[in-house]
Chains A and B, each alone.
Chain A
Amino acid sequence: MIRAAISAAVEGLVLQWRVAQIISISAVVVLLGAVGYSAVELIAQQRALSSINRETMWTSVQLQREFLRLQNAIGLHAVAPEQSTAEDVRLQFELFWSRVPIALEHPSGLRALSDPSLVDGIRALEAALPSLETALSAYLTAPDGDPTDVLVALDRWSIPINDAVRLAAHDDNTNEVLDQLLEENVHGLSAAFIALMAALVLIGRLMLELSRVVDLRRAALAATDKAEEAKARLVTAIETLDDGFLLIDADGFLAHANTGVASIFPELEQVTPGELVGPWIRHSVPHLVLEEGTTVQSLPSGRRVVSLVATTPDGGILGVYRDVTEQEKQSEERRLLSEQLHQAQKQEALGRLAGGIAHDFNNILGAIKGFAALLVEDMPKDGEASSFAEQIVLASDRASGLVKRILSFSRPQTGDLEPNDLSALVNETLSMLKAGLSPATILTYDPPTGPVMVMMDTTQIGQVLVNLIVNARDALPVLGGQVDVVVESDPDLEAEMALFSRPLPEDVSSPLRINEEADGTLVAWFGVLDPARSCVRLSVRDNGSGMDRETVERAFDPFFTTKGHGKGSGLGLSTVMGIVMAHDGAVRLETSMARGTRFQLLLPSAVEPVDEKAVRSTPDAVAIPGETILIVDDEPDLLTVMQTGLERRGWSVVVADSAMQALDRLEGVDAMITDQTMPGHNGTELIRCVTLVRPELPILLCTGHGAVNSEEEATDIGADGFLRKPVDLGELAHLLRDRIDRRNRGREGVPHV
């Protein structure tokens, strides 16, 4: 805009100068013409005048001189009347004569004199010349002639001749003055001419200079344009940067601040380039780093900023500011995710390992328990030995419970909620965790009197318990502390129910709500309980460091951890929250920096507790004589236990240690019991083959750990019953009896009584 105005002004100036140039050159040329013309005229006039004057004067003087010479010659002749003097007189008379017509007729003769009347006198002289010649000739020829008459006759012409000379001299003098005046005029005109020429040269020179100036100016404007263009490109580039860019010159004036820097330091929006910001900026934008070097800082707004500040060669300050808040957050999340993945992989590996061990351990336990059970059967009921054998069976049961726990960690989660004994779960989990606690930590468990049945996924609730106890342990002082675990089957929950029955506010993104009580204890809870259902309560209390409000607010956020890098995944409590919500349960958290933390898990009770002892108290099942059972297992001990157990109940038993062997020995059997995990073909494959050949044959599947985990899955692959290892012989016999009877009823159409 400004540049266009300047350009227009320059072009206007050029036009004005061009017009001035034309006008001044024209004026000078016209003046030069006038001066030249005047000078030429004056010079011609002067020359004419001087020539006329000189010649007129000369003519008159010549006339006078010849007149005087004639008189002298006559005088000489009078003194010496000889032939030679006579000849001289004649020559002088001839010469005098020759002067008269010249004086009269020549243009620069006497006619040019200021008084033409003089010419008349000379003309009379001309007319008198022949008579003078006659008189002179008479004098010269007469012996002893007297020159007086001739001289007198001549003398009367001296007056007009002298007058002519005088007048010519006067005229010459006058004209001399005029001539000088003319000459001065010519000089003046010459001076004017020279001055005008000089002016012309000067104007030409000025024009040349101006045209150079204009050219330079245009070049400068073009250069300015280019510079502006380059600057605009640079500014655009700087503006499109995500980074903040700030340039302050050596005198403290703001050269440039892009939108990026203003978004980081909003105070900079108040200033514009060209403003003096030096003292102001240090005072009003205190967090803006202007010291040379690389600085990483946290702003009060929570943003993380990396500042790169350099000094420019001219002493200014160049700063580049990068907001790395998001970048750091993402990198932290990535780090946590990778840590979590790593953790998960570790757990999976551990699980596989544990599963493998558990499988073998289960088989051994199965043998121990089976043989112990046979001992119990063989011994007198009241004897001490029988009681020892029963202890072995019970110990085996506990051991198998532990294995089951371990297996549940390596097994994929099913998500199915089934009635299970929470107390047993806690017992098993704690016995597993005890090894991981430091000796200084006291872990107490206050179990309820009987089983506490809860609709739950034992794996998930076990994980919740593990997470809570690990958190409690980590919150304890190094010198040791106490963790108390309590399970209550029918707690007094009136206060809690009032809390938890409130519906969730819809506008709250997190279901967590927090209250601060009068004594400074923070109470946080989430979840909604159905008031119509009874609940069980699992409490985990520690006397550790407790949590402040900020920690409580974020305690259930994924990836939030107070344990430091590498120690915790930050997923523990968020997992707890997810699992408890999936169980329609609730969590109540009380924490105080002074007293530690207490977590309460509230889970809905199962409607009907299953009484396992009722099952066990039913009379033992026995064989119908003649029935033959095929048992398939790769573990010889287990084969022996099951074979012995079934044979004692009256069955004939055929054994096979592989699927291939089993197919060979199918002939004549009334039922088949098979292990799932075997070398070669596994139980599932064996069942598929057998059902093709003997579709009516009852098949029971035994499994310790593997693909089949439930009755439904077993049925899906063609089995009629499912037993978990280690197998309880009584249970096996009952199931076998039931399945054979069911087959027989189906075949004969007669109900078995």
Chain B
Amino acid sequence: MLRRLLLLLPILAGMVVTGASADGLSAPEGSVLLTVEGAIKVSNQDGVAAFDLVQLESVVPQGVIEEANPWEDGTPRFTGPVLSELLHLIGAEGSVLEMVALNDYRVEVPLSDAASAPIILATRRNGEAMSVRDRGPIWLIYPAETANTLGQDVMESRMIWQLERIIVR
């Protein structure tokens, strides 16, 4: 595990503010990659918080996880918004996050996971945006050490790829 490296990078903190509208979040300009709905306080599109790639990479503090995982060779470098920061941004309140993939695969993640670990909504692998065939565009990546508390199986089952939608309950 020498290669395990967890870096939390609050990049472009100022952009968080500039990217936010008067009520906290501006409407997405590009194609929407992720929508968050349910028990949230901040929305930008019909009660839903919708994010395009730029927003995901600019208004939310970014995290980096560079660790091996069962579906990848070597130690790819994943980057993307930190889940807890994103939820904080939109004022999410609840206990469960229902994660929905493009193929309608669903998995429930407790909100406490986000609070206790710097989970990221990875948008890039080794600096490259991820295509759908390559398990993009968003892959929920847990830091490997989370397995110590959750267990490897549980952790792996919650690392949903091709993520499209989050329902906060």
Chain A interfacial positions (CB closer than 8 Å to B): 51, 65-66, 69, 91, 94-95, 97-98, 102, 106-107
Partner of B102, one of A91, A106, A107: A91
A51-B153, A69-B103 known; A94-B70 Cβ under 8 A = no
* Overall SS of chain B's interface: loop
Question: Bound complex: CA of A107 vs CA of B70, how far in Å?
Answer: 8
Q: Name the contact of A95 in the complex, choosing from B70, B71, B102, B153 (C-beta under 8 A).
A: B102
What are 25 of the A-B contact pairs (CB < 8 Å)? A51-B153, A65-B103, A66-B103, A69-B103, A91-B102, A91-B132, A94-B131, A94-B132, A94-B133, A95-B102, A95-B103, A95-B132, A95-B133, A95-B162, A97-B132, A97-B133, A98-B132, A98-B133, A98-B134, A98-B135, A98-B161, A102-B71, A106-B70, A106-B71, A107-B70
Given A51-B153, A91-B102, A98 and B71 contact (CB-CB distance below 8 Å): no
Inter-chain contact total with CB atoms closer than 8 Å: 26
Q: Which residue on chain B has the smallest CB distance to residue A94?
A: B132
- Tell whether, in the assembled complex, residue A98 and residue B153 are in contact, meaning their CB atoms are under 8 Å apart: no
**CA–CA, A51 to B157, complex, Å?**
11
Most buried by A among B70, B102, B103: B103
A106 and B161 CA atoms in complex are apart in Å by 15
Please give, as numbers and ranges, the residues of chain B lying within 8 Å of A94 by CB-CB distance: 131-133
Give the most central of A51, A94, A97: most B CB within 10 Å.
A94
- Write out the residue numbers on chain B whose beta carbons fall within 8 Å of the beta carbon of A69: 103
Among B102, B131, B132, which residue has the most Cβ atoms of chain A within 10 A? Answer: B132
1/0 per residue, CB under 8 A from A, across B97-139: the answer is: 0000011000000000000000000000000000111110000
Residues of B within 8 A of A (CB): 70-71, 102-103, 131-135, 153, 161-162
Q: How close is B162's CB to chain A, nearest CB, in angstroms?
A: 7
Other CB < 8 Å A-B pairs besides A94-B132, A98-B135, A98-B161, 8 of them?
A: A69-B103, A91-B132, A94-B133, A97-B132, A98-B132, A98-B162, A102-B71, A106-B71
Q: Which residues of A contact B102 (CB under 8 A)?
A: 91, 95
A50 → chain B, closest Cβ, in Å?
10
Shortest distance between the CB of A111 and any CB in chain B (Å): 13
Report chain A residues within 8 Å CB of B135. Answer: 98
B132 cross-chain contacts in A, Cβ below 8 A? 91, 94-95, 97-98
Identity of the chain B residue whose Cβ is nearest the Cβ of A98 in the assembled complex: B133
Could you say which residues of chain B place their CB within 8 Å of the CB of A98?
132-135, 161-162
Chain A residues positioned under 8 Å from B71 (CB to CB): 102, 106
Interface centre among B70, B133, B134, B135 (most CB of A within 10 A): B133
- For residue B162, which residues in chain A have a CB less than 8 angstroms away from its CB? 95, 98
Whole-angstrom distance between the alpha carbons of A102 and B135 in the complex? 10
Chain B nearest Cβ from A53, distance in angstroms: 13
Q: Which residues on B sit within 8 Å (CB–CB) of A66? A: 103
A69–B104 Cα gap in the complex (Å)? Answer: 12
Nearest 7 pairs of A and B residues by beta carbon: A94-B132, A97-B133, A98-B133, A94-B133, A95-B103, A98-B135, A95-B102
Q: Which residues of B contact A102 (CB under 8 A)?
A: 71
Cα–Cα distance between A102 and B161 once the two chains are bound (Å)? 12
Nearest A residue to B134 by beta-carbon distance? A98
- Name the distance in Å between B81's Cβ and chain A's nearest Cβ: 22
With the chains together, A98 CA to B105 CA distance in Å? Answer: 14
Identify the closest chain A residue to B130 (Cβ). Answer: A98
Q: Which of A66, A91, A95, A106 has the most CB of B within 10 A?
A: A95
